[in-house]
């Protein structure tokens, strides 16, 4: 795998290898004498900090570029940005509005014969680095035991998509609860169903019934802020609060990629409850970035 644009760019076995590498206490400094370019078209706290920290821990130099600074397709084309950055950096991480931008960047780099790999740091379509951290967190609590049920409640967005694919690949059971017009379309549902056991509900309670993992994310993702007020109305009943959590398994954990919005997709009470593993999940963002850089540099865990 040269570029990491979606979670299924890795196989099931490779995901497990990345998670194993994430746990290495003294990882080889595979990025020494190397820099990594991190481009952000949208704001970030966790992704930027966890990526920079991981690069530093592996001996490399992170170079972050934020919001309008680069001007992808404004100041110059995505292709020209990619080819320029690839001439400096061993890896390019990019957080973009349009997922297609990542594909264009990867294609331009490949056509130029560069070895540099592109890593998706979130697009409108997917958030695979988040999914790796989510899988690391779930594995820590439940393992990848068949029958463990993960319920995603909220907008069928980038985070939901990568999480669903990743969980199904690892053999977990998935339930997605979204308001009627915010669900995955039929083609995606069929694609997910081909991967494993997944069901779709417009009643959040039914999605959460008996789940070991209850996951939620913002109702209006970055780029959809103007829909916020409409979505507040459309998502009534989809707040992950103690009422909804009473439908989950007794040992259920609560997950959120963050940032959280109190009283909207999650109540503060649930976010701060003993079931909440959101800080562990945030810390795992850094660990899996280390694992991913190690894996993409050719390191494999000892069997
Ligand atoms: N979860 C996540 O990607 O957070 P940031 O947007 O702060 O990077
Ligand atoms: N779905 C959210 C995730 C933020 C980390 C967004 O795209 O804004």
Instruction: Write out the DSSP string of 11-57.
Output: -HHHHHHHHHHHT-SS---TTTT-EEEEEESS--SHHHHHHHHHHHH
C-alpha of residue 296 to centroid of ligand 2, in Å: 25
Determine if ligand 1 sits within 6 Å of the CB of residue 164. Answer: no
Ligand 1 binding pocket includes 44 (Cβ within 6 Å): yes
pTM (whole model) above 0.75:
yes
Same domain, 203 and 140: yes
122-134: pLDDT as tens digits:
999 999 999 999 9
How do residues 238-282 score in pLDDT, each as one tens digit? 999 999 999 999 999 999 999 999 999 999 999 999 999 999 999
Structure-derived torsion over alpha carbons of residues 284, 196, 265, 201, reported in degrees to the nearest 10 = -170
CA of 215 to the centre of ligand 2 (A): 13
The reply to whether ligand 1 has any atom less than 6 angstroms from the CB of 157 is: no
Give the tens place of pLDDT for each residue, 139-179. Answer: 999 999 999 999 999 999 999 999 999 999 999 999 999 99
185-219 exposure pattern, b = at least 16 Cβ within 10 A, e = fewer: eeeebeebeebbbbbbbbebbebbbebbbbbbbbb
Mean pLDDT of 207-229: 98
Nearest residue CA, atom 1 of ligand 1?
257
Same domain membership, residue 160 and residue 37? no
Residues carrying an active site annotation: 95, 127, 130, 217, 257, 285
**Ligand 2 centroid, distance to 264 Cα (angstroms):** 14
- Domain coverage including residue 79: 31-126
Q: Residues 68, 146: one domain?
A: no
CA atoms of 292 and 133, how far apart (whole Å): 11
SS3 139: helix
Tell me whether strands 91-95 and 198-201 are parallel, antiparallel or unpaired: unpaired
CATH code at position 58? 3.40.50.1370
In sequence order, the 6+-apart residues with CB closer than 8 A to the CB of 238 are 153, 154, 177, 178, 179, 204, 219, 265
Instruction: Answer yes or no: do 197 and 237 share one domain.
Output: yes
Boundary of a domain, candidates 126, 159, 187: 126
101 and 212 inside one domain: no
Looking at the structure, tell me whether residues 207 and 261 fall in a common domain. yes
Q: For residue 24, is it within any domain?
A: no
Q: DSSP states of 170-233 as a string?
A: TT-EEEEE--GGGSPPHHHHHHHHTTS-EEEESSHHHHHTT-SEEEE--SS-TT-GGGHHHHHH
Q: Same domain, yes or no, for 148 and 85?
A: no
Name the CA radius of gyration of the chain, rounded.
Answer: 19
Residues 93, 153 within the same domain: no
The C-alpha atoms of residue 8 and residue 15 are separated, in whole angstroms, by 9
Domain assignment present for 236: yes
Cα of 300 vs centre of ligand 2, distance in Å, is: 30
Same-domain check for residues 143 and 170: yes
Residue 188 falls within a domain, yes or no?
A: yes
Going by alpha carbons, the residue nearest to atom 4 of ligand 1 is 46
Which pLDDT does position 302 carry in this prediction? Answer: 84
Q: Which residue's alpha carbon is nearest to atom 3 within ligand 1?
A: 47
Residue 153 to residue 136: CA distance in whole angstroms: 20
Ligand 1 pocket mutation, candidates 41, 42, 47, 94, criterion most atoms within 8 A of CB:
47
Q: Could you tell me which residues come within 8 angstroms of residue 116 by beta carbon, excluding any fewer than 6 positions away?
A: 85, 86, 89, 90, 91, 92, 109
Q: Name the average pLDDT for the chain.
A: 97
Residue 303 has pLDDT above 70, yes or no: no
Q: Which of 38, 40, 41, 46 to mutate to test the pocket of ligand 1 (most atoms within 8 A of CB)?
A: 46
* 92 lies in the same domain as 69: yes
122 plus 135 within the same structural domain? no
Pick from 154, 218, 224, 259 the residue to mutate for probing ligand 2's pocket: most ligand atoms within 8 Å of its CB: 218
Which numbered atom of ligand 1 lies nearest the CA of 49?
Answer: 8
């Amino acid at each position: 795998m040269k570029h990491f644009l979606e979670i299924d760019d890795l196989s099931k076995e490779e995901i497990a290898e990345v998670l194993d590498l994430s746990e290495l206490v003294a990882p080889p400094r595979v990025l020494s004498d190397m820099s990594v370019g991190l481009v952000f078209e949208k704001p970030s706290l966790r992704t930027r900090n966890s990526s920079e920290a991981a690069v530093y821990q592996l001996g490399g130099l992170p170079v972050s570029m934020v919001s309008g600074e680069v001007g992808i397709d404004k100041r110059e084309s995505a292709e020209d940005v990619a080819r320029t950055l690839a001439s400096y950096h061993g890896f390019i991480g990019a957080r973009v509005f349009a997922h297609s931008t990542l594909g264009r960047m990867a294609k331009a780099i490949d056509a130029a014969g560069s070895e540099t790999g592109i890593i998706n740091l979130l697009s409108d379509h997917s958030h695979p680095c988040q999914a790796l951290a989510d899988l690391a967190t779930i594995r820590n609590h439940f393992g990848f035991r068949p029958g463990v049920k993960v319920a995603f409640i909220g907008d069928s967005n980038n985070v939901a998509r990568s999480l669903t694919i990743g969980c199904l690949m690892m053999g977990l059971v998935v339930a997605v609860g979204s308001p009627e017009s915010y669900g995955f379309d039929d083609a995606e549902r069929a694609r997910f169903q081909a991967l494993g056991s997944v069901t779709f509900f417009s009643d959040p309670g039914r999605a959460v019934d008996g789940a070991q993992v209850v996951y939620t994310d913002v109702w209006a993702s970055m780029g959809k802020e103007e829909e916020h007020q409409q979505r507040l109305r459309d998502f009534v009943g989809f707040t992950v609060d103690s009422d909804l959590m009473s439908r989950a398994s007794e040992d259920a954990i609560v997950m959120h990629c963050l940032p959280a919005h109190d009283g909207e997709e999650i109540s503060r009470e649930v976010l701060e409850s003993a079931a909440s593993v959101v800080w562990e999940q945030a810390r795992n963002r850094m660990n899996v970035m280390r694992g991913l850089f190690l894996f993409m540099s050719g390191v494999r865990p000892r069997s």
